[in-house]
Amino acid sequence: MAIIWSHRENGHLYQVRGAGASLRLYTDGVLHSQFNPRRVVTGSVWDLLWLPLFFRSSPAPDRVLLLGMGAGTAVRQLNTLFDSAQITAVEQDPLHVWVARQHFGVTKKMATVHVGDACEFVARYRGPGFDLIVDDLFTGGGGIPQRATRFSRKWLARLQRCLSPAGIVSVNFADWVELRASAVAQAVGTGQRFGSAFSLQCPAVDNVVAALLPEPVQSADLRSHLGATPALAQQLASGQLRYRARLLRPSAAR
């Protein structure tokens, strides 16, 4: 894999590496973004961040909030799949934003990008609710990623305040240990905001994405709706879009 760009700043090493048409952003050895402009799916964890939308037939989100943009993989994917969606992205590292603009093709038209702390943004936000909130807040070094913000009940409550009434939350965890230690278990069930929760995983990837939806849904719904979406059906059939969906019951995530 060729190194296209490398830069050291404030003790951190940033690299953009390329293999064919695919680009990857590494910061201190941690992979933050990956994208191939020739196809919408990555075959990895970034696909899982927006996949929960397809538990519904013909999803058309008006407003999306991305917490932790990296170099903009999810921005590029969402812009391709839902070109009318208004995307708001929050990214703390200005160099990640620079890489998104210079190397990953993220334009100002695709998303409104805020450079700053995502927790502060969520705490201050008082605007219209979002139809999808993606929590992809990660840090790490030496090639080992970990969540930058604990997914506590307090953090979940703040995210819920930013949701539209039918909004979906998608949360990236480094592994099952992080997921089980989170507040996902307390988010689902009688008297709670969410009627169903699923774990989503890709083969050979430790990350687990938790999808929280206000209504009861089934994994068969997801596959059926993906198969009926022209932009994704062929990639699903060919195995390029790879995932495993598992229902999360309150006791399973504790």
What CATH number has the domain bearing residue 153? 3.40.50.150
pTM: 0.95
Domain-located, residue 48: yes
Q: Is the pLDDT of residue 87 over 70?
A: yes
Residue type, 12: H
pLDDT tens, 68-83? 999 999 999 999 999 9
Q: Is the pLDDT of residue 66 over 90?
A: yes
- Residue (of 147, 154, 254) closest to 206 by Cα position: 147
How long is the chain?
Answer: 254
Domain-located, residue 30: no
Question: What is the pLDDT, as a whole number, of residue 141?
Answer: 64
Tally of domains in the chain: 1
pLDDT tens, 163-203? 999 999 999 999 999 999 999 988 998 789 999 999 999 99
Domain-located, residue 240: yes
Q: How far apart are alpha carbons 211 and 219 in whole angstroms?
A: 11
Full residue range of the structural domain in which residue 218 is found: 39-247
Residue 53 phi, psi (nearest 5):
-60, -30
CB atoms closer than 10 angstroms to residue 116: 13
Domain-located, residue 235: yes
Domain-located, residue 5: no
Question: What is the pLDDT, as a whole number, of residue 253?
Answer: 41
